[in-house]
Amino acid sequence: MKKNTLKKVLRYAGKYNYLIAISMILAVVTALLSLYVPILAGNAIDCIIGPLDVDFTKVMSILFEIVVIVLVIALCQWIMNTVNNRITFRVVRDVRRDAFERLQILPFEYLDSKQTGDIVNRIISDVDLFADGLLMGFTQLFTGIVTIIGTLIFMFYLNFRIALVVVVLTPLSLFLAKFIATKSFSLFKDQSSARSDQTAFVDEMIGNLSVVKAFAHEDENMEAFDEINFRLEKTSVLATFISSLTNPGTRFINNIVYAAVALFGALACIDGRMTVGGLTIFLSYANQYTKPFNEISGVVTELQNALACAERVFDLIEEEGERVDDKNAPESFRAEGVVDIRDVSFSYDKKRSLIEDLSLNIKKGQRVAIVGPTGSGKTTLINLLMRFYDVDSGSIEVDGIDIRNLKRKDLRDNFGMVLQETWLRGGSIRDNITLGREGFTDEDIMRAARAAHSHSFIKRLPDGYDTIISENGGNLSQGQKQLLCITRVMLHIPPMLILDEATSSIDTRTEIRIQKAFSKMMEGRSSFIVAHRLSTIREADVILVMKDGHILEQGSHAELLGKKGFYYELYNSQFA
């Protein structure tokens, strides 16, 4: 799994080959120049032959050369870090964009089965942690590898035997780093999962804080949070502890290598096979050779965390999306409003049936009310009409065309929806009414607001239609939020309407006025009205009485009362 994740990361990075090439060239230049500095330092030492026997002219010339090289190295490293930052954050931008793009086409089954906080955590926190590991990898990995190869070449050139001692001892460091990296990957994955659970829990609590306080559930929430927090602490401490063993472990082995080089080099100096300056060069190379192993071991640790986070993000990106729209779907479909539901069966949980063999025919301009107890399938039917879910069997046709053969956007453009749950975004009142749709004048917007009876409260706001509200409506009341959602539909009325408890949060006087506006709006349009207050749907052409996913009764208000069946009981229970 880890190798597959790394391949996916490299595939994203491969789009920026030219930047990677520049970074690698700069890494090579930096490493080679860094390796040349010890040679100059060794030559300067060899110019100090004894007391009062120093070639100061040559020493000063070498020191000047060292200063110039160090400045060039610093410039190359600055450019390389800039390039690596650009690579990293472009890759992160692409990954995050693909994750968010996938979110737009994920089926509702996936979204309903996942916590919102978990999805947010994957796109935000996991990608940020992935970026940190990737940046460290680009910054240190290339330079480290080039330094290791370069120092080996120089050491073998200077003294074959001592270089061989270094090569023999080095694999111990690699084996240790690999062993620890394997152990830490699964721990970092658990850490990321625990962090996601914590984000999801906090998000849920903030969104429902009024319910928590109303039911005095603070203590229970603290216990649940402490459990998640403790789990996160436990996995984080263990992951950090295991991964932190890499650096001291490799440093211990590297110090053994350095000591061996010093010992064999000193013996070579005594035998006259190496000068003191040459030993200085070799010791510097031994230090430079082992230093990248410490850095790379740190990079490997960070990469374990980064890959664990990246795996969760890629799981989201690779999640199967909605069924692709039919290529032969008609363009710019405009419905007349004839809806045929034929032998439809559907359930969210395939082990539990919900809607079975449902058939219904709605003529153009008919007002259809859907009533029934909670869980009877009313809202599910709306979800199927809008293709938020596809039917398990049977078909739903609009104007004789199976809705699965229509583009989702075209189908939904033919429906106007007002739901019990309101959704407003951060922005002006005007933006929330138009939702970014163009071509509406201020007069159009105000006419829709007057029809929805929202104009009066909007004008009382500090800046009227330009008043900025925060996400989900800010300080607006629930009723005012619902009025704004009704105004959206009033602004541009499509051929078919869905009203799912559209006036549940509105006072009785305003509701009576809006019902009159709805009646006018529904003239000539096929309408589906979900209602619990049965007094609001007496004027419907057809009332469907649902229970356990089946239509028990259907007919007008008067006809259903006359039957004295389930609808009769429901209606009278409101006045009991």
Supply the CATH classification number for the domain 339-573: 3.40.50.300
DSSP output for 191-215 = HHHHHHHHHHHHHHHHHTHHHHHHT
Bridge-based pairing state of the strands 542-547 and 367-371: parallel
Q: Residue 33 CA to chain centroid, in angstroms? A: 42
What SS3 state is found at 321? coil
From the list 256, 266, 244, 243, the residue with the least C-alpha distance to 170 is 256
Rounded Cα–Cα distance for residues 102 and 475 (Å): 33
Instruction: Give me the CATH topology for the region 2-317.
Output: ABC transporter transmembrane region fold (1.20.1560)
Under a CB-based contact definition with an 8 Å cutoff, are residues 296 and 113 in contact? no
Interval 262-293: pLDDT, tens: 777 777 777 777 777 777 777 777 777 777 76
Burial (Cβ within 10 Å: 0-12, 13-18, ≥19) of residue 294 = buried
Terminal Cα-to-Cα distance of the chain (whole angstroms): 62
Predicted local distance difference test score (pLDDT) of residue 72: 93
Burial (Cβ within 10 Å: 0-12, 13-18, ≥19) of residue 331 = exposed
Which token pair is 180? Answer: 């620890």
Predicted local distance difference test score (pLDDT) of residue 206: 74
Q: Which contiguous run of DSSP H or E holds residue 346?
A: strand 339-346
Under a CB-based contact definition with an 8 Å cutoff, are residues 511 and 453 in contact? no
Under a CB-based contact definition with an 8 Å cutoff, are residues 319 and 110 in contact? yes
Predicted local distance difference test score (pLDDT) of residue 155: 77
Rounded Cα–Cα distance for residues 296 and 290 (Å): 10
Under a CB-based contact definition with an 8 Å cutoff, are residues 488 and 513 in contact? no
Give the residues across from 341 on adjacent strands. 360, 396
List phi, psi (to 5°) of 131. Answer: -65, -40
Interval 198-219: pLDDT, tens: 887 887 777 677 777 777 778 8
Report domain extents, the chain.
2-317, 339-573
Which token pair is 194? Answer: 């625990």
Rounded Cα–Cα distance for residues 311 and 191 (Å): 13
Rounded Cα–Cα distance for residues 248 and 429 (Å): 59
Rounded Cα–Cα distance for residues 339 and 185 (Å): 54
Which portions of the chain are predicted below pLDDT 70? 1-3, 49-54, 135-139, 171, 174, 177-178, 181-182, 207, 246-247, 293-301, 473-474, 502, 504-505, 533, 535-536, 574-576
Sheet holding 542-547: strands in order across? 415-418, 496-500, 526-530, 367-371, 542-547, 550-555
Which token pair is 499? Answer: 């009203």
Rounded Cα–Cα distance for residues 451 and 388 (Å): 29
